[in-house]
Amino acid sequence: MKIALCQLNPLVGDIEGNTSRLITTIEEHRTEHCDLFIFPELFLQGYPPRDLLEKQWFNRQSETALLKLVEYSRLVPETGFLFGTVLPSNRSHGKPLVNAAVLLSNGNILLQQQKTLLPTYDVFDETRYFEPSAAVAAVRFKGEILGISICEDAWNDPDHWQSRLYEREPVSELAAAGATLLINISASPFHMGKEQLRYTVMRNHARKHGLPLVFVNQIGGNDDLIFDGNSMVCGRDGSLQHILPAFEESVFITDLSVHGKTQPAPERDGIGSVHDALVLGVRDYVRKCGFSNVLLGLSGGIDSAVTAAIAARAVGKENVWGVTMPSRYSSDGSIGDSEQLTRHLGIRFSTIPIESSFTALLETLEPFFSGMPPSLAEENLQARIRGTILMGLSNKFNMLLLSTGNKSELAVGYSTLYGDMNGGMSVISDLPKMMVYQLAAYINRNGEVIPEATITKAPSAELRPDQKDQDSLPPYPVLDAILERLVERGRSLDEIIAEGYDPDTVTWVAQAIARNEYKRRQAPTGLKVTPKAFGSGRRFPIASSYTWS
Write the pLDDT tens digit of every residue in 293-329: 999 999 999 999 999 999 999 999 999 999 999 988 8
Residues identified as active-site: 41, 115, 151
pLDDT at 7 over 70: yes
* Domain-embedded: residue 258: yes
* Same structural domain, 187 and 299: no
Q: How many CA atoms lie within 13 A of 53 on its CB side?
A: 25
* Domain-embedded: residue 543: no
CA distance 264 to 260: 12
Last residue of a domain, one of 241, 269, 297: 269
* Same structural domain, 328 and 242: no
pLDDT at 466 over 90: no
Mean pLDDT check: name the lowest of 254-263, 281-290, 502-511, 530-539: 254-263
pLDDT at 246 over 80: yes
In terms of pLDDT, which residue wins out, 468 or 385? 385
* Same structural domain, 119 and 205: yes
Residue 161 pLDDT grade (very low, low, confident, very high; cuts 50, 70, 90): confident
Per the prediction, the chain carries an average pLDDT of 94
* Domain-embedded: residue 301: yes
pLDDT attached to residue 126: 96
* Domain-embedded: residue 539: no
- Specify whether the CB–CB gap between 217 and 5 falls below 8 A: no
* Same structural domain, 402 and 355: yes
pLDDT attached to residue 268: 61
* Domain-embedded: residue 334: yes
Burial class (CB in 10 A: 0-12, 13-18, 19+), 153: buried
Element (H, E) at 302: helix 302-315
Residue 269 pLDDT grade (very low, low, confident, very high; cuts 50, 70, 90): low
Tell me the C-alpha to C-alpha distance, in Å, between residue 89 and each of 43, 113, 548.
Answer: 18, 12, 42
* Same structural domain, 264 and 305: no
pLDDT attached to residue 457: 85
CA distance 394 to 177: 57
Rg of the chain in Å (alpha carbons):
26
- Write the single-letter amino acid at 240: L
Mean pLDDT check: name the lowest of 48-57, 160-169, 202-211: 160-169
pLDDT attached to residue 160: 81
CATH code where residue 233 lies? 3.60.110.10
pLDDT attached to residue 516: 95
* Same structural domain, 280 and 262: no
Average pLDDT over residues 441-448: 96
CA distance 252 to 239: 18
pLDDT attached to residue 482: 96
* Same structural domain, 254 and 165: yes
The torsion angles phi and psi of 196, rounded to 5 degrees, stand at -65, -40
- Specify whether the CB–CB gap between 138 and 179 falls below 8 A: yes
* Domain-embedded: residue 373: yes
Report the share of the chain in percent with pLDDT over 70: 98
CA distance 351 to 407: 27
Return the closest-CA partner of residue 314 out of 249, 221, 224. Answer: 221
Output DSSP code: residue 146.
E
Last residue of a domain, one of 212, 241, 269: 269
CA distance 237 to 54: 43
Phi-psi group of 208: left, alpha or beta (phi > 0 → left; psi -120 to 50 → alpha; rest → beta): alpha
pLDDT at 90 over 80: yes
CATH code where residue 393 lies? 3.40.50.620
The total number of structural domains that make up the chain: 2
- Specify whether the CB–CB gap between 138 and 177 falls below 8 A: yes
Packing angle, helices 332-345 and 302-315, rounded to 10: 20
* Same structural domain, 153 and 169: yes
pLDDT attached to residue 440: 97
* Domain-embedded: residue 537: no
Torsion of CA 327, 328, 331, 336, to 10 degrees: 40
* Same structural domain, 368 and 508: yes
Scanning 414-492, the segments in alpha helix (DSSP H) are 433-443, 452-456, 476-483
Return the closest-CA partner of residue 468 out of 296, 301, 224. Answer: 301
pLDDT at 548 over 70: yes
* Same structural domain, 250 and 324: no
The torsion angles phi and psi of 401, rounded to 5 degrees, stand at -85, 125
* Same structural domain, 209 and 332: no
Last residue of a domain, one of 216, 240, 269: 269
pLDDT attached to residue 330: 79
User: How many other CB atoms are there within 10 angstroms of residue 397's CB atom?
Assistant: 10
The partner residues of 426 in beta bridges, in order of sequence, read: 403, 526
pLDDT attached to residue 259: 73
Instruction: Give the tens place of pLDDT for each residue, 174-232.
Output: 999 999 999 999 999 999 999 999 999 999 999 999 999 999 999 999 999 999 999 99
Instruction: Give the tens place of pLDDT for each residue, 16-32.
Output: 999 999 999 999 999 99
* Domain-embedded: residue 43: yes
The torsion angles phi and psi of 368, rounded to 5 degrees, stand at -95, -30
* Same structural domain, 254 and 358: no
Determine the structural domain holding residue 466 and report its residue range: 275-521
Scanning 32-142, the segments in alpha helix (DSSP H) are 56-73
pLDDT attached to residue 170: 96
Average pLDDT over residues 66-82: 96
Tell me the C-alpha to C-alpha distance, in Å, between residue 303 and each of 331, 336, 521, 527.
Answer: 17, 16, 21, 15
Average pLDDT over residues 521-543: 93
pLDDT at 334 over 70: yes
- Write the single-letter amino acid at 54: E
CA distance 348 to 146: 54
Average pLDDT over residues 374-398: 95
pLDDT at 167 over 70: yes
pLDDT attached to residue 462: 65
